[in-house]
Structure 1
Amino acid sequence: MGVLFSYQGILSTFFQFLIFTPFVHFFGVLRTFRFVAITYTFIYFLTPYMAFLPHDNDPLLFTVIYIVLSCKTIYGCLIYPVNSILLTNAAPSLLVLGEINGAAGSVASCMRAIAPIASGWLYSKGVENGVMVLSWWAVGTVAAMGGIQALWITEEGGEVRDEEEGKNIVAVVGEDAVRCLEAGEVVVVVEGGGRGMRMLGSE
């Protein structure tokens, strides 16, 4: 278990620092989110069937374990950041962005508290009734519902507006949201008065 957790930590660090940004920049935030949300289901449904692998064949068993663990780790590194990016893009105004992130964080924390209890209870019931895959199938069903909902997510405009001194300050956070800005660089669009005016540049 120590080796497996160490491998998961190393892979997670390597992927987030070196691969995440070019990967999401190439495929796009929304497409990445949809792919992970939809295919996450298969990981949960297939994981319990590792129990049917021959236990006297350690190379095969650990190869499958590392493959499943790698998929789960990479998916986790992808889904949470792109979910935050999409949530920020969906905010209608900078004035409510804090409230939206706070509500999302609260809901996520509640689910992290409830999910282990619920899945543990389902696992116990599955063991009692000889259905070992019950908890995995339940989690997979929840993941499938999230994957279906991901198909209806849109990414339009990518603008977050804030009212200040009669002007609209628009933060551009579309597909390039995963690109790091240079030191002192800002990208804004200022609209004021009776007609629009674009300002793109750096401080």
Structure 2
Amino acid sequence: MHSVAFDQMLPVFMHHPRQKAVQTQTSLIHFSGGFGISSNRIGLLLILNGIFGMFVQFIIFPPVAKRFGVLTCMKTCTVLFPVIYIVFPFTSLIESDQKQQIIGLLLIACKCCMTVFAFPCNAILLTNSSASAGTLGTLNGVATSVAEIGRTIGPTMGGLMFNVGVEAGLIVLPWWVMAAIALAAALPVLWMEDRPTPTELAPQSQEHANAVEDCEVGASRRRQ
């Protein structure tokens, strides 16, 4: 939900006018400006982000997931999501347009990387948690339904929070609400443990059964 809300608010935030110099900040978080860049520029930045996402998906993700494990990658992503959401709105305070867009693009690329890792890792963990092929269909159905609910609520909530934040002079509000949601979603992931799947346990069970059978055969021969 928070990932979809971020994607929905991102172009709106980047097109939102900069905070005027005459406006004074009463606190570190009391500001309401965006990037104030054109639609063409926003499109270019999003294209670059999309190209980077494809590179991560096909080149970086497979070896990294194989090296560190799916669960470790998932935990890392869930921890970094809230950090990115908390930091991102402060990029609107950077005075230089060039530095602002470069730093903003780097943060967007980091979020893209986390998304590219999180979605397949989530699917793999869901598949591995299924005890049988029969329950896998039920799990996938429930997971898809919940995900669609999040995709529906996320953009609506993000747009509403963005409007409230702009009117209140707190542009950080929608981003920090997303950070809170992402943090809440990260807690159960951090408690997860990597255990052998039923497929991995099957050969071990067969080996144990064979060993027991060999012992019984040996014992019967000695009795004879």
Coarse TM-score class (shorter-chain normalised): 0.7 to 0.9
Question: Could you tell me which amino acid in structure 2 is paired with residue 86 of structure 1?
Answer: L
Is structure 2 residue 135 aligned with structure 1 residue 72? no
Equivalent residue runs for 1:44-193 within 5 Å: 44-54=85-95, 57-159=96-198, 171-172=199-200, 189=203
User: Which one has the bigger strand percentage?
Assistant: 1
Aligned to 2:67: 26
- SS of the residue aligned with 1:25? helix
Question: Contact between 2:79 and 2:186, CA under 8 Å: does it hold in 1?
Answer: yes
What is the percent sequence identity of the aligned residues? Answer: 30
Question: Could you tell me which amino acid in structure 1 is paired with residue 209 of structure 2?
Answer: R
Aligned to 1:16: 57
CA shift, 1:189, in A, is 4.0
TM-score (norm 1): 0.77
User: Which one has the bigger helix percentage?
Assistant: 2
Listed as ranges, the gaps of 5+ residues in structure 2 are 1-41, 212-224
CA shift, 1:40, in A, is 0.9
Listed as ranges, the gaps of 5+ residues in structure 1 are 160-170, 174-187, 198-203
Question: Could you tell me which amino acid in structure 1 is paired with residue 46 of structure 2?
Answer: F
TM-score (norm 2): 0.70
Between Structure 1 and Structure 2, whose CA radius of gyration is higher? 2
Structure with more relative contact order (C-alpha pairs < 8 Å, separation 6 or more): 2
Runs of 4+ with >6 A deviation: none
C-alpha RMSD of matched pairs (Å): 2.1
**Per-residue deviation, residues 164-191 of structure 1 (Å, max 9, x unmatched):** xxxxxxx349xxxxxxxxxxxxxx7496
Question: Could you tell me which amino acid in structure 2 is paired with residue 20 of structure 1?
Answer: F
Structure 1 stretch 136-145 or stretch 149-158: which is displaced more? 149-158
CA shift, 1:157, in A, is 1.2
Question: Contact between 1:20 and 1:78, CA under 8 Å: does it hold in 2?
Answer: yes
Aligned to 2:39: none
The match for 2:209 among 179, 195, 199 is 195
1-structure distance, mates of 2:185, 2:204: 36
2-structure distance, mates of 1:81, 1:196: 36
Question: Contact between 1:38 and 1:146, CA under 8 Å: does it hold in 2?
Answer: no
Question: Could you tell me which amino acid in structure 1 is paired with residue 72 of structure 2?
Answer: R
Aligned length: 169
CA shift, 1:77, in A, is 0.5
CA shift, 1:29, in A, is 0.8
- SS of the residue aligned with 2:195? coil
Question: Contact between 1:48 and 1:133, CA under 8 Å: does it hold in 2?
Answer: yes
**Per-residue deviation, residues 92-114 of structure 1 (Å, max 9, x unmatched):** 22111011011101110110011
**Per-residue deviation, residues 58-81 of structure 1 (Å, max 9, x unmatched):** 331122012111101111110000
Aligned to 1:3: 44
